[in-house]
Amino acid sequence: MSIPVFYEPNPIASPFLSEDESIHAHRVLRLKAGDPIFILNGKGQKFEAKIDQSTSKKTSFYQLKEIENADKPTYAIHLWIAPTKQMERMEWMVEKCAEFGIQSIGFFHSRYSERKEIKTHRLEKIVISALKQSKNLFLPIINPIVSFKELVHQMENKPVEQKLFAYISEPPSPSLSKSIQLNRAYHILIGPEGDFSQEESEALLASDWTPFSLGRAILRTETAGLAATHAIHLLHEN
């Protein structure tokens, strides 16, 4: 039987699992006193511990010991995406991007957006679940939705990071692999399925965002977000 994994952001200061994690430990896994567990804090550390007392409200642990402390990756992926009308498609993308490993996922609405509001609470639960499943050690941040103009303005003060946006054009923009500089922090912008308006594309170019192509096929928004995330990981494997 594999040792179950839990998420607790500060296990050293507080030897208790959250209520959600306690419910999973007590009702689903039926853990008992003395059972071993792993704990991830989402900040690069992995711990081992033993269950002390288990209830659906509060499960405590003891004999906490750090067994892994990872350095931050040499590059960071910050994905910004215009959410689709079907929220389950966004949830699928968030889960898969978190499994691959990503620093943050944020949302924006633009002229052709299908959705202008988004609830982040469920997405935060999804990334925690993906963290535990994938055994990644860094929890992605979920950023609330902002307007296109707000996002462009926010990024104007980040000159050391590389800003790229998926751009459908004729002739096609250079591929992502030819556009990125290795070992940087990347802000990747994926537009709505109606694409960016001409004015928005021009605003991005004027603000030093680099256009890139994901190939000849026209991808769904969530597919493009996942493809860009995975492509950057693969480029850093060499």
The CATH code of the domain that includes 9 is 2.40.240.20
39 and 128 fall within a common domain: no
Q: Are 106 and 192 in contact (CB under 8 A)?
A: no
65 and 95 fall within a common domain: no
Count of domains forming the chain: 2
33 and 126 fall within a common domain: no
pLDDT of residue 237: 86
61 and 165 fall within a common domain: no
12 and 126 fall within a common domain: no
The predicted-structure confidence for 87-134, as pLDDT tens digits, reads as follows 999 999 999 999 999 999 999 998 887 788 888 999 999 999 999 999
94 and 61 fall within a common domain: no
Q: Write the DSSP symbol of residue 25.
A: I
Q: Write the DSSP symbol of residue 84.
A: -
The structure tokens listed for 70 are 């990872």
Of the residues 27, 46, 69, the one at which a domain ends = 69
102 and 188 fall within a common domain: yes
155 and 103 fall within a common domain: yes
Find the domain containing 58 and state its range. 5-69
Reduce the DSSP state of residue 40 to 3 states and report it.
Answer: strand
Side-chain-facing half-sphere of 176: CA atoms under 13 Å: 27
> Which helix (DSSP H) or strand (DSSP E) does residue 146 occupy?
strand 141-147
The predicted-structure confidence for 8-42, as pLDDT tens digits, reads as follows 999 999 999 999 999 999 999 999 999 999 999 99
pLDDT of residue 141: 97
Q: Write the DSSP symbol of residue 139.
A: P
56 and 160 fall within a common domain: no
pLDDT of residue 217: 80
pLDDT of residue 112: 80
130 and 42 fall within a common domain: no
Q: What is the CATH number of the domain that holds 81?
A: 3.40.1280.10
Separation of alpha carbons 215 and 173, rounded Å: 9
Separation of alpha carbons 191 and 38, rounded Å: 38
Of the residues 26, 52, 69, the one at which a domain ends = 69
Is the pTM value of this prediction over 0.75? Answer: yes
Separation of alpha carbons 81 and 221, rounded Å: 8
132 and 224 fall within a common domain: yes
Q: Write the DSSP symbol of residue 185.
A: E
53 and 14 fall within a common domain: yes
| Mean per-residue pLDDT, 37-65 | 95
Q: How far is CA 161 from the centre of its chain?
A: 18
Of the residues 41, 69, 97, the one at which a domain ends = 69
Residue 230's CB is within 10 A of a number of other CB atoms, namely: 15
User: What single string gives the DSSP state of each residue in 88-102?
Assistant: HHHHHHHHHHHHH--
